[in-house]
Amino acid sequence: MTVYLRSTSDIAINGVKCLVYGPPKVGKTRLIATAPAPVILSAEGGLLSLRQYNLPYIEIKTMLDLSEAYRWYTQAQEAKQFYTIGLDSISEIIEVLLEHEKARTRDPRKAYGEIITQGLRIVRDFRDIPGRNVVMTAKMEYSKDEANGMMLFQPSFPGSKLGPAVPYFPDEIFQYCVFTNPQTGQRGEFLRCWADQQNIAGDRSGALDQWELPNLSNVFAKIASGHIAKR
Across 32-53, average pLDDT: 80
Q: Do 169 and 124 contact (CB within 8 A), yes or no?
A: yes
Taking Cα atoms as reference points, which of 2, 185, 13, 162 lies closest to residue 91? 162
Q: What is the identity of the amino acid at 78?
A: E
pLDDT for res 60: 86
Q: What is the pLDDT of residues 106-122, one digit of tens each?
A: 777 777 777 777 888 88
Return the higher-pLDDT residue of 183 and 29: 29
pLDDT for res 44: 63
pLDDT for res 210: 95
Query: From CA 17, how far away is CA 128, in angstroms rounded?
Result: 9
**Confidence band for 11, pLDDT divided at 50, 70 and 90:** very low
pLDDT for res 194: 96
Taking Cα atoms as reference points, which of 89, 102, 82, 77 lies closest to residue 37? 82
Across 68-79, average pLDDT: 95
Query: From CA 38, how far away is CA 84, in angstroms rounded?
Result: 4
Return the higher-pLDDT residue of 40 and 11: 40
Residue 13 DSSP code: P
Q: What is the pLDDT of residues 139-176, one digit of tens each?
A: 998 887 766 778 889 998 877 777 778 888 899 999 99
Percent of the chain with pLDDT over 70: 88
Distances (CA, A) of 155 to 29, 46, 107, 123, 152: 15, 18, 26, 13, 10
Return the higher-pLDDT residue of 79 and 95: 79
Across 88-96, average pLDDT: 84
Q: For residue 153, what are the β-bridge partners?
A: 142, 199
Report the topology of domain 17-221. Answer: Rossmann fold (3.40.50)
Instruction: Give this prediction's pTM.
Output: 0.85
DSSP for 52-83, written as a single string: GGT--EEE--SHHHHHHHHHHHHH-SGGGG-S
Return the higher-pLDDT residue of 113 and 57: 57
